[in-house]
Structure 1
Amino acid sequence: MSIGRKEALAVGVGVLLLVAAFVVPDLHLGIVTPLIKMSPGELKSFADAAPIFGWWNAHVGWGTVPAILIGAAAVLWGSTIAQRLSWRALTLTAWATSFAWAFALAMIDGWQRGFAGRLTSKHEYLRQVRTITDIPEAVRTFASRIVDFQPNSWITHVSGHPPGALLTFVWLDRIGLGGGAWAALWCVLIGSSAAAAVLVAVRALSDEPTARLVAPFVAVAPTAIWIAVSADGYYAGVAAWGIALLALAVRQRVRWPWLAATGAGLLLGWGIFLNYGLALMALPAVAVLLCAVDWRTAIRALIPAVLAALAVVAVFAVAGFWWFDGYTLVQQRYWQGIANNRPFQYWSWANLASTVCATGLGSVAGIGRVFDIKAIKARSGLHLLVLAALAAIVFADLSMLSKAETERIWLPFEVWLTAAGALLPAFTHRWWLAVNVIGALALNHLILTNW
């Protein structure tokens, strides 16, 4: 396989980031380190496998064989199948494959440790669910409980997110789907659907042949390691479908574009009440609007989308939670915790190494081809979406509110980066897919990830 100059440069930078991020913690370079002012035990707990949040632990599980088989099948036959299936069958197959891939990767760590128990740890949402006896009261007093070191403070993950995230798991519990296994299934099911959403968006904004090239890359992306099973996988799925519906609206690929735009606004509006960082999905949304048939179509899609998103904001405001209050207070809570001990001098660039792990070097190679001035001027949907996702990551990184754990936190942006592999020459796709699959399998077998 010959490697072009652009992808060689991108992969070279990616490999350099990976090597530096994994090696620097052992060099004791003062403040250029994952953690400061921490005991050896705390370093082991929070930075053993930095820049990935996890612990070095070579292991196998009953998910090992299925994961290898799914990955191998995608490499050997994924591109061929993507060309032969009907469009509807392809989107469903991409979703199903992504789900199976994520579940198999989780099962490498075992049922309890890798799946059912992930969302039941002391910092996770399910520990808070049992304390919610009055949902309206919980929403009304939500902001007052964000700041730490008070008797009624929310636990870590609840305090770090708007109330929509907690409400989701409370509602699941109320309808009889309580416990770690159901919560994990919800996150994997919604998170893996992002594969189908990306295909829908790329087909609407570029064309179907391009979307078919994307399919294998999103179906077995390394992001699946953290989609199974973190709540951020759920957030990524919601945001991805919001962008996909907006793409259908601006390109008028549905009978009622206004309805698709309204759905997009509801999902993206709900998204910012799941995760404050999803406000940055405004950048992919702008990329979609730039691909509109004309400016009038863009406006016709934008108005119902914005009104629908504002309706979500209004519902929460009436219920007693104002988003901007929560965002201000969560920054205070953020600096009350371990963020104070995570130096920006390391994480400003090690975050990007985590993103390389989550998207795979095959996708990084594709990113090397996204800076194509001719394609950008032609408003190529795939190029603009990937660039917008990259811009969102840069802003998130510079905010200093995402130091570490970004392989999980940036999933809503990373799922779009995985599509960049389609920009590579078609005859190299199998090899780059293999690089992604092998990388994901190696990570999941060598590191016991926290998510």
Structure 2
Amino acid sequence: MTAPIPVATSPDRVRHRAAVVGLTVTLVLIAAAIALPLLTGWEVRAGKLAPLHSIFVARVGPGTPFAILLAVLGVIYAPRVVQWPWRRLLAVVYGYGVAWMVALATVYGVEGLGGILDNRTEYLGTARAVTDFAETLRIYIDHIPIDSPDNWPVHIAGHPPGALLFFVVLVRLGLGSALASGIVITLIAGTTALAVMSTARRFGAEDLARRAAPFLTIGPAALWMCVSADAMFAAVAAWATFLLAVAATSTRLWVQIAAGLGSGVLYGSCVMMSYGLPLLGILAITVLILGRSWRPFPFAVAGAVAVVGAFAVAGFAWWEALPVLSERYWDGIASDRPGAYWTWANLAAVAISAGPLVGAGIAVAVVEVVRRDDAGRAAARRVAWLALAGVGMCIAATLSQMSRAEVERIWLPFVPWMLLGTALLPERWRRAGLVGQAAFAIVVQTLFYTRW
């Protein structure tokens, strides 16, 4: 007769302890990142409340009561809703997620829905002025340097032209106002959770995808989803990853080809929208390893190369633009933002964006991939690896030193993958954690003006 596993070393006990450690470390990291500049007077150049790009402005607005109502309804009904049929669950996750984003954004009134997009540093002003996008591509690199005549605004200079093209298309479609663009971004961003859940399901982890659904929907990341093009990037990246998972888990050649090519086209689009998104390669490689198939790899590469190559033929070569952008980056405010702070405080900023419970989920994900004493947990380990890929992308980004501050927005494409780790938490952790995530989001939006 097999002896029982001692309680002190049982898997559940180990996971509980890991969650405690992960949550504690995350809260300490956030507290240190906030307190250090305030107590020492260290000028880290990110507003008055680093590590967020924010200032303290207590505000209760039209969206506040709706956000509180949605939070209460989510906490009460999430355990029941996650058991619904898959398609109905996806519909609810999408509808609720969009409502949650809108409620949080309208704490600042209708202006909160994309109003920032009219800022002179953003895309819309330039997009409205573009009459010949082909010519814009040909002169794009010339206008990146900060000392060039008519240099691009910050966000245009700081991104490849795919981001600008998105807004040019919106303008041509008659959706070029800040409000209309904000609504479009919100509707696109709402699909991110669906792609992440569907990816986990593709790896045989439907139960875990259901558990993660509330945390992919209810949380502080929504604060930046209505107001940032990075939320649109996140959705494109998530669907690219889902298609790659489809290709990697299919035995049909035509699916491997079609889904692989489609994935590559979307990944290539991400590369042409943000210089930081080639780091999605970490996630893509993880997906191929989990799928135990490299057959889609050449098709995905072909799709990505086709997109990047098309821009190059049209006049914008990504590899020529990157060093020019790097020079402008260091000629700007980045050189005044101390690396001794931001290298680690970036991780605090993204923890605020994802919500503190992300730390508990990541810690348990580490346990899942290290321990091999539980039979039948292959799906959990796959989800754990996806979550750790999200962390890996953040670490690589901060080590690059090309992400100093503002990562609560910039790293939105990495956040939902980290949040998959919450599905691995014990049930009592998920119940209490959902309350904490919702409350944390409302408090941050109420007390911090995040400028996005």
Settle same-fold status: TM greater than 0.5: yes
The amino acid of 2:313's aligned partner reads: V
Q: CA deviation at 1:108?
A: 0.5
CA distance in 1, matches of 2:40, 2:371: 45
Deviations 1:408-439 (A, max 9, x none): 01110012112211110123311111111111
User: Does structure 1 conserve the Cα–Cα contact (< 8 Å) formed by 2:205 and 2:383?
Assistant: no
From 24, 29, 44, give the equivalent of 1:34: 44
SS at 1:261 equivalent:
helix
Residue 104 of structure 1 is matched in structure 2 by 103
Aligned to 2:179: 181
Aligned position for 1:39: none
1:133-172 superposed Cα distances (whole Å, 9 cap, x missing partner): 2110001111111111221211100000000000110111
Looking at structure 2, the residues matched to 328 and 119 of structure 1 have their Cα atoms a distance apart, in angstroms, of 27
Instruction: Give the Cα–Cα distance (whole angstroms) in 1 for the partners of residues 173 and 428 of structure 2.
Output: 49
For the Cα contact (< 8 Å) 1:76–1:430, is it kept in 2?
no
Q: Residue 129 of structure 2: SS of its match in structure 1?
A: coil
Distance 2:251 2:219 in 1: 27
CA gap 1:360/1:116 in 2 versus in 1, 3 angstroms: closer
Deviations 1:76-107 (A, max 9, x none): 11122111x21112122212211111111100
Note if contact 2:48-2:55 (Cα within 8 Å) is conserved in structure 1: yes
Cα offset for 1:391?
Answer: 0.8
State how many pairs are aligned.
432
User: Aligned AA for 1:356?
Assistant: A
The structural deviation recorded for 1:260 is 1.7
For 1:290 and 1:360, locate their aligned partners in 2 and report how far apart those are by CA, in whole Å: 28
Change (3 A) 1:81 1:343: same
Aligned pair 1:256/2:255, yes or no? yes
Letter in 2 for 1:221: G
> Partner of 1:21 in structure 2?
33
CA distance in 2 between partners of 1:139 and 1:177 (Å): 22
Displacement of 1:344 in angstroms is: 0.7
**Partner letter of residue 71 of structure 2?**
G
Instruction: Give the TM-score taking structure 2 as reference length.
Output: 0.92
Map of 1:32-111 to 2, 5 A cutoff? 33-35=43-45, 46-83=46-83, 85-111=84-110
1:41 corresponds in structure 2 to none
The residue identity in structure 2 corresponding to 1:79 is P
TM-score w.r.t. length of structure 1: 0.92
Deviation at 1:357, TM superposition (A): 0.6
CA distance in 1, matches of 2:337, 2:134: 36
Code of the residue aligned with 1:54 in structure 2: it is: S
Shift of 1:27: 2.2
Which 4+ residue blocks in structure 1 deviate beyond 6 angstroms? none
Corresponding residue to 1:160 among 138, 158, 169: 158
**What amino acid maps onto 2:210 in structure 1?**
R
Equivalent residue for 2:353, pick from 358, 371, 389:
358
Residue in 2 aligned with 1:386?
387
The percent identity for this pair of structures is: 37
Partner of 1:40: none
Unaligned runs of 5+ in 1: 36-45
1:186 touches 1:234 (CA, 8 Å); kept in 2? no
Contact 2:268 2:305 (8 Å CA) reproduced: yes
Q: Give the superposition deviation at 1:378.
A: 4.8
Moved more, 160-169 or 353-362: 353-362
What amino acid maps onto 1:26 in structure 2?
L
- The residue type paired with residue 256 of structure 1 is V
Residues 349-375 of structure 1: CA deviation (Å, up to 9, x unaligned) = 111111111111222211110112146
Q: Report SS of the residue matched to 2:413.
A: helix
Give the letter for the 2:101 counterpart: A
Partner of 1:38: none
